[in-house]
Amino acid sequence: MVNVFFLGLISFFTDISTEMVYPLIPLYLTATLGATPALIGVIEGIAESVAGLMKVYGGYISDKLKKRKMVAFIGYSSGVLYKFALLLAGSWAGILIARIIDRTGKGIRVAPRNALVSESADKKHLGRAFGLHKTLDTAGAALGILITYFFLSNLTGDINFNRIFLISLIPAFIGLSMFAFVKEKKQAAPKPAERISIKFLFQSFKTLDRRLKLYLLVALLFTLGNSSKTFLLLKSSALGYSDSAVVFLYFVYNASAAVMAVPFGGLSDRVGRKKLLVAGYLVFAIAYFGFAFAADRSIIAVSFVLYGVHAAMIVGVERAFITEIAPQELLGTMYGLHATIVGVALLPASVVTGFLWVTFGPVVPFVYGACLSLAAAIILLLFLNHPVSKQP
């Protein structure tokens, strides 16, 4: 678990840097650059989809080269380039380029990092290991948001965006330095006949575990209704929250996810992954119905907490689930494939959400997302008939 801890610290410091900036993006786009919710949806959708396309590639390369640490390091390094791109951006197009840089790096690093966590963990406690990583990851995000909230709440004038972008570089460099403490297990190079190739991948996909194919389909369906978190921030702002309060709500989401990730991960080790995944989708639906019909700001606050609980129930648990049923020689690729499906689906999800918001108002897009999440829960409940065996 020592390796898992240091991988978690890398995510901790990287997310401090990332989340110091992320909640400011919609504010910067709307208040300074005059962007509409529909344009924000396009920007976020394109950025996330580019990342999604890179995720399967990052996993494939880490499987092929057997050098997960190096591939992950390259992906995390993009966080530094992202901040410099933000400093140079003077239009929504510049922000789009910066977001693509950031999400591309995330796409490259996700699969090899998850594979490193899996290979470093006790197989009887996969859920707890991924829960620990998720806790450190979201704790860093929460701290980054809290730092930005501190800056905003003590402002006497306009937001100095560039100042915050510069400060966010500090934790990004600290995160990269943590790679010095990560140990990678040496893996024997595959025999020539077993080398991973595109042909080998297509042949392997045909024989994938039925449960994995089903879950990839469910993840696609769910993500089509799970648009960018930017819309949650816009909804909060529309209900009268100040800029600093919007940032604090985003902190609440990350804090609740961080607190609950390890307990839910450990619970999935005992009761099985299916129950946690189904429950997580149900909690998401409740949260989105809250965002849709909130008549006052207290409902929004509760919805952010539930949104964080959903993340704690899903993210680490689904990674443990994939670990248990994916071919081990393609573990990184399968993490990447799952992340790619999710990332690519975020483009239509965000575009549709932006369109529904502009056309019908903010209620309809959240109801749409909640209904797709309910559908995902029902499919898992009815058709995932052979859950992974519970660990002793």
Residue 206: per-residue pLDDT: 67
Closest CA to 332 of 118, 123, 111: 111
The least confident of 98-112, 186-200, 315-329 is 186-200
Residue 175: per-residue pLDDT: 94
Q: What is the dihedral of CA 254, 258, 259, 265, to 10 degrees?
A: 130
Q: Render pLDDT for 269-283 as a digit per residue (tens, 0 to 9).
A: 999 899 999 999 999
Q: How confident is the model at residue 158 (pLDDT cuts 50, 70, 90)?
A: low
Alpha helices, DSSP H only, in 272-296?
273-293
CATH of the domain spanning 2-178+201-383, picked from 1.20.140.10, 3.40.50.20, 3.30.499.10, 1.20.1250.20: 1.20.1250.20
Residue 95: per-residue pLDDT: 86
| Vertex 49 angle, CA 45 and 50, to 5° | 120
Helix (H) or strand (E) holding 174: helix 169-177
Closest CA to 249 of 19, 47, 16: 19
- What is each CA distance from 150 to 76, 153, 252, in whole angstroms? 26, 5, 14
How much is the mean pLDDT over the chain?
Answer: 84
Helix (H) or strand (E) holding 248: helix 243-271
- What are the residue boundaries of the structural domains of the chain, listed by start? 2-178+201-383
